[in-house]
């Protein structure tokens, strides 16, 4: 039972992902080129028997992989919302996502192969394509994914421990305490969250209770309005008050901040970890 429990816990772990579209596109390009070169060098599925245009056909398989992946991600993200939130993106969801991705790539490459190489589609041979694609792509991908999760988790847990040992920076000056953000004193603010064309301000009111309010603004403008204060950007959707941080934890996606008198856990994207690590 303990083994099953440990496996379930691992499957529920947050999974790291590229935080920029460019990074995801770069990864997809590398994978597509790898597939083209793998097919050209090893010649599986009868490719080694081709007399001409072998490289172009292998490049065609790589291109089909690239465009099929983009279409698949659009379908998954827009229609099904599997990757709706960063916090909900776990290892098992990543596995399901890649299982479907490999199947979609298999379908695209099967149609490409049958039409280009044979001129007709024989669906009885589709299971052979699925088997080959899964063996070449899915099993190594799952192993690399697990390794990436564990290495990133170990890294950010170590950084979190390092930060917790450090002294926090200097507190805000008296003058900064007098500054307001939509009538909320900066020293009372815990975090500010982006909500499309609005922001949510989480703060401690004059009675010492947590409260929140929504105002029409943007994180960019709010960050500009709080310049030289202890309010800093930590995520594409969050600003945080450095003086409100009680403790820091880490997982494969980055850091997680616990704030005083506030139940909301504020994430720190990997691209912003440096400023917290350096004080």
Quick: pLDDT tens for 84-124. 566 678 888 888 888 888 888 888 888 888 888 778 888 88
Residue ranges of domains in the chain? 2-164, 174-277
- Over 80: is that where the pLDDT of 278 sits? no
Quick: pLDDT tens for 170-197. 444 444 445 788 889 988 999 999 998 8
CATH 2.40.50.1020 corresponds to the domain 174-277: yes
Q: How far apart are CA 61 and CA 46, in angstroms?
A: 13
The mean pLDDT of the chain is 82
Q: Is the pTM of this model over 0.75?
A: no
10 Å CB burial of residue 19 (0-12, 13-18, 19+) is middle
Partner residues linked to 180 by β-bridges: 185
Q: How many residues does the chain have?
A: 279
Long-range interactions of 214-219: CB distance < 8 A, separation 24+: 215/182, 217/182, 218/194, 219/192, 219/194
């Amino acid at each position: 039972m303990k083994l099953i429990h440990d496996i379930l816990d691992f499957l529920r772990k947050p999974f790291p992902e590229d935080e920029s579209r460019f990074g995801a596109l770069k990864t997809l390009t590398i994978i597509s080129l790898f597939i083209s070169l793998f097919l050209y060098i090893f010649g599986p599925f009868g490719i080694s028997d081709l007399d001409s245009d072998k490289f172009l056909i292998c490049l065609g398989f790589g291109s089909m992989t690239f465009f099929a992946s983009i279409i698949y991600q659009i379908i998954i993200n827009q229609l099904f919302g599997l990757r709706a939130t960063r916090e909900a993106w776990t290892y098992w969801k990543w596995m399901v996502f890649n299982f479907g991705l490999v199947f979609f790539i298999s379908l695209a490459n099967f149609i490409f192969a049958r039409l280009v190489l044979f001129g007709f589609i024989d669906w009885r041979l589709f299971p052979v394509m699925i088997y080959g694609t899964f063996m070449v792509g899915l099993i190594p991908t799952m192993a690399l994914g697990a390794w990436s999760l564990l290495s990133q988790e170990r890294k950010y847990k170590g950084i979190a421990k390092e930060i917790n040992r450090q002294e926090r920076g200097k507190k805000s000056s008296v003058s900064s305490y007098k500054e307001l953000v939509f009538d909320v004193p900066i020293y009372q603010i815990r975090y500010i969250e982006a909500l499309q064309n609005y922001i949510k301000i989480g703060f401690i009111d004059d009675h010492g209770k947590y409260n929140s309010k929504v105002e029409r603004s943007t994180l960019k403008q709010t960050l500009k309005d709080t310049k030289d204060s202890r309010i800093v950007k930590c995520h594409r959707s969050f600003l945080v008050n450095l003086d409100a941080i009680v403790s820091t934890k880490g997982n494969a996606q980055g850091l997680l901040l616990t704030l005083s008198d506030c139940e909301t856990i504020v994430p720190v994207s990997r691209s912003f970890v440096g400023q917290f690590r350096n004080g």
